[in-house]
Structure 1
Amino acid sequence: MTLRQRFQQSDRVELLPVRTDKITGVLYTRLTDILRVFPDASFFRVNGGVLYYLEDENEQEYEPKRIAHHPDDTIDVDHQQLLKQLVHLLQEQAEAKERDERMLAELAAAKERDEEMLRLQRQTIDRLIVAQQRVEAILVQNYELHEYPIPRLFVILPDSYERWDPRNFLAERFRLFFLCECDDHCDTSSEQLAKHEGYELTRPTDFFDQYGPYVLGTLRILKHCLAVAALVSPAIALADSSAKEVMDGIKSLSESTMAAVELSIAFLQKKLDGDAVADVEGEVRTDEQEDEDDMFRELAALEGADLRRLDTFLRNKDTDKILGNLYRITTETGHVKWVCFDHYRQVYRETTMASFLQSVESNGGVFEAHLGKVTITLKSSLAAKDFFSRLSTQARAVTSLKVSFDWSFGSTDLVMLVDKVAQSNIRDFELDLMERSIIGRIGSLLRPGKGRYHSLLGLLSNPKLRGLAFIHVDFIGPRTSDLPASFRSSLLQSFHHSGCIAELDDTRLAEIITHCPHLVDLRLGSIYWHSLDVPKVDRAIGTLTKLERLHRYHLFCDTTSDTNLSNNTAPYGDTALRELVDTSLPYPTGPASPLEVSLRRSLSTLEVLMLQSTRNNRTLDLTSIISPTLFYYADNVLFSRLTHLEIILDMTPASLDIMSSLLPSLALVHAGFGKNASHLITRVNLQFLKSVHFQDVATTDIEQFCHSVHQSTTCNMESIRLLRVPLGLELSRLLVSLRLRRLFLDEPIRGNESLDDLLKGLNVSQLEQLLVDSVEYNWESEAVLASRSDEFTDEFVLHLPYATKNNMRDVHKSKTRDMQGSSTRLARHQVRVLDYDTALREYNSRIWPPSHG
């Protein structure tokens, strides 16, 4: 018989199963089990005494935390927030009582009527508070800022509810509306529809299959709040004019919107229950006493993978990325909210930002108000001092900063930067020191520990920072000193070091990782250039107990001997990952290899998987991860959360068969394959696909993929990267037909078409980013683009890696050179010459999930 422990909170009593420690035999209840039943549990009592969590032989609390078993007692569950709410409720009741007494004195002749109104007021406001608390429980998840790239609360309404015909569902049009997440930090008490025309859905049936329960939950909340506004407003108008203003926001929606909400609820309830929808309109529920538990039954917070797929259903997307006219803010407790402009101004007063924004604009920077992000390049020490001074005193609304230093800065500039960032409200910081040449660095390299980078380690102790990224911060090892023994553990949840990592950097980076035990997101190495052996970094990764996202770019050179590597190292950590990117794969593959162990652990959690290797002896064998029994009886749920999949390495025949069977069921947003797996591109579900990467893919496979896209009615491709792929007629036809936003032509192979032929026919109506790395790019290619410059969008940018630039010297050095007007016309758009690593990083930043290194 299973032992159970009795827990009680208020009048609620639950029996929870008791666990047994496999070593000591001690009976206990795990905290995670308790939180599933009592989400608000904070601490526990037995017979009036407080219970402490069990400790191991080292006097350290177990993880997950444990409560000792008390077989003869009932454990009381307490929550500090309940006490605060009780105090707040008592204060509200006291204020309401005072208002009641004044109103009764003034309205003695209508005493009975007024008392009834006030009773309804208290009842409905209490229900509204419950609704607000339930929504808050969903939104207070403390993830990184990049976990919420778009708003999380939204509803779906018919485009025209007056002409709604439930018998002809497939012909109806629906719109998605985002909700303002205003709450305790604003002056209103409920969610509101954002002031926006909404977004038409491209595939309503598929959308409701994916998000139906979530939409039903948010619609019920919205309906509940609207009903409260309609019922309470008359009583509030009599009782308190200031309280009336509180309710004006949620009553602002028209009666027609209320009808559309009710119609959508009825339709979704029918659809999710599997019933016919023919009689939906006649069965709209009007019961305002709907049980709150039922109302929130379907509502659950969306994960990052769900949000990334949401964008694929929207027809009229925002080119400026301001979804629903909402702005992202960060609360004092570090939580992310998306609010309307009115509430944004209430939180961050515009007048205090005016001087700071002027400084940003004068330095050519950009402030994305909806994200609270500044991107800026500073060109002098004086400009840096002015900018950071204003940042620390005038820019509370700025929570994310990407800054580049484009001058010969000194160590005092970095000291100033660290101090001012600590005084600001920055939580996500990216620093690009733009040092791309070893010339001029030799002096600092000869002085280990005394270089000008040392002060940057002070960012690790910044208690506000949750995300830190270093770009072109090379030779960090010789330019810094050891962290002091008294150094406190960093609170960083995300750390990126984008660049070549040498052996001299290994020890320092391993030390940094070890001092950041809360890391959830770790990204190291160069996208393109190979690094040297870094075994200490790998061992440090193995110590991270909260790791969810790991990106490893060429941390080992291709000549690293397998005999120098041990499978006992844990380069992927010991946790189930949500993102795994490895472009070096240094460790030998096999059933017990670190890679297979990590993949097996992460089968049900992975959202991003990218594996790439140039080594001939690295072969992925999925049969060591997915047994035939598990595969055939799992109803294809394996890797079901994947949104980004890229495999550029050899796979066993059995693995190719398994992946071929899985791909049609995966809702991939991005897919990439190499030569060995090129035929898999024809198995990808095109419904969600927005970007592809093909490397050394055979012409026949490319042609089949192009044919599938031409035949598809749901494909909405936006980005394509082609690496050493023949430019055939079918591929050219595809690029002409698609309205791409991004295209990367990476060492294209001349087939039936030349590069110039392709550029002549390319559809550029929405093109924002064109990257060309090819020996064929020359003056004629430049002339082709220049002749079409009037067709480019205002956002168009041409990226040319240095290798391409060297093939046509001086093409972009002089923008006044005529060349029949070609360069002059093209110069009206941005033309950037970059190193390959930066060019690829900028392309990937639009393709992969937010903060991709």
Structure 2
Amino acid sequence: MSAVPSQAFRSQSSSKVVVLPTRQDPKSGRHVIRWKDIQHCFKDVQYVIHNGLVVMFLTDDDWEDLIPLRIAHHPGSVLEVVLIDKSQSGSDSMAISLEAPSYHTHAADEPLMTPSSSQEVGSVARDVASLSIREAVGYQTHAVCPQDYTRATPTMSPPWTNDNMKHQEQLHQLQQQMQQMHRQMEEILGKIQQASQHVQGTQQQMKDDIDTTLQQTQTYIQQLEQRLEETRQREEALLTSQQQLYQLVEEVQQKVQRLDQEVQDSREATRESQHQTLQQQLNEGLEKIHQMEQQAHHSHEQCEQLQQQILEIEKVHQQRQEYLSLQDFDKFVYAQHCVQAVLAKPCPEPSNPRLFIILPAPTSAVDGEGRPCSLRFRLYFLCECGVHTMTKNCNTPHQVHLAQHCGYELDNQHGFIDKYGSYLLTMMYMVKYGARVKGLVVPPLLGLSYAIKDGEDQEHLKFIKKNIDRLVDDTITYLESAISIINSETSTITRMDISPSELVQLKSYVRIMNDERPIGDLWAISTREGHCAWICWNHLVELYETDFQRLKCIIFGAGGICQNNKVQLNITSDTATKQLFDTIGKVCGLQDIVNWKLLTNISLDLSGHSLVATSTSDIISSLSGLKSLSLDFGRFSMVADGISQAPVSGVVMEVPQLSNLTPNDIELIYQSHPVVLKILRASKIMDGARLVDIIQHSTRLRELHRKLFKAEANSHCAPLK
């Protein structure tokens, strides 16, 4: 264990050296000497000197003396202790006690106590006196401490060693400082009074709070006493009820004992009679069981007879089903033959669609099984889409389907069945079983699809979609019965096709409510083979958009130009004319577009020579002196019904894409089979009069201007319409 460092002290008036042990500061770890330890050895100590300099008390970061007071350790040095000279204390004019400088503040290891006003005043007075003495002797209280944490002052002799002049100046300064300290003490006393008043107010508030708390406590105690009294009363009532309950239980137990005794007595009395009754019931039960066994044996015999009858009925039913299946198969084969014969035959006239069926009207009365009991039917058309409507990268199915139309009511249903019954039955077989012909596919009943449009037809089409299989079967049954009555034979189809005149007369049996819509919402087109087919709007748009793009490519390839949404082509040679028309004739579907859209406004510059040709291109190329041929994309404004052929002359405008048009905006005028170019190819045109006659009777050309130029003079012929 290491020795504790010590510090040597010696008084100026004595040569005796006093050694005091040091203390280690727990915060800084330095060795220090407490001022109280020095005062214990030197009672009249005033300050300590080391090498002529006053040793100052250690301070904190705010230059406040550390409590308790302490000085730094000076190892190997003897510090001189300056004592108070009592002989000179009476001659000094200062009325200040020269006690050791100390701050009456709380040390870190002493508890903090709140002093009274008088104690605070005394402490402040002592601090002021000590401060005055320090200023009087010229201490530098805020000098920078050396490395050993001690304060140093300039080397100077004590104030009482100077001459009288300096002493008087110091006294004068001390008086001024005393006055300043007096003012500070007055301010401090004022603050102390304010603090005292604040303490008194706080005490009064605390007293009021204590009184309020006491009052609330007394009220709470009273409430507890009341609750305690109520609890005591409830306990007394509970005890009373418990006693009454005990008495009641005793009475019940006594009654139960009496009842048990009575029951035991009655059991002994009735046991004999019950035994006799049970024996009698047992005998009756055995007799009933015997009767039930006899009945069960009889029922078993009846069940065997019924099973035998059921087997016989099932055998008969199976034979009948086999017979009916053979009949249905024969009917299916015969129907397929008839359907293929009808579909393979090209449509003779474009007046009306040739594929149509009838179905019971949804407003017809129904019986208990949901079947129509009245004979009201509606006419529905089918879209003839197939290979002829397919285009590249098409997404629309190309199978025969119901048109997007709610059907038509029949004005003369009986006459309609008489006239078209056999053909209708063939169409119904086609819808039920399906059919396949070159380029045309009819799916079976379950594959028959159609779209439900919004509007007034929505509920009707939903009914058709939900009951299509039952409606088709009911229609076939009705038609077979009607035809058997008419022809006096069953399931025999006498006619498989329909004549052009019958197609023309079809409208006379149909009640058309809206003349603005085309019949069945179908439009006629020409196939590659030159036949007529009626398709729905979706297939029409897809087909004509594709063909129209092909035609535009052909026109642009021949040197056509596009200005103001109008394409114009000028042909100046016979070779270019022949190539153009030959190319148009080879593309499927373009013939209709050329006749329908392009040849609506043709200007021909002729020289008046005779014509000998076998085709349209030959007609134009044979014209000697041909100047130019202009083909303009134009569209005629049509009447709203889509059926009439009356055009509005003089109206020629650009043709937008079909996807931007509505069905009522498209010109669909067909009086005869659309083979205008074929008619021209098959005719031998010998002169200009023959050409004029053909043009005048053409159903596609709407306006044709012929201009004759002669060498002598120009003459203009009236336009041919």
TM over 0.5: no
Higher RCO (CA < 8 A, seq sep 6+): 2
| TM norm structure 1 | 0.27
- Between structures 1 and 2, the one with greater helix share: 2
| TM norm structure 2 | 0.31
- Between structures 1 and 2, the one with greater strand share: 1
Q: Which has the larger radius of gyration?
A: 2
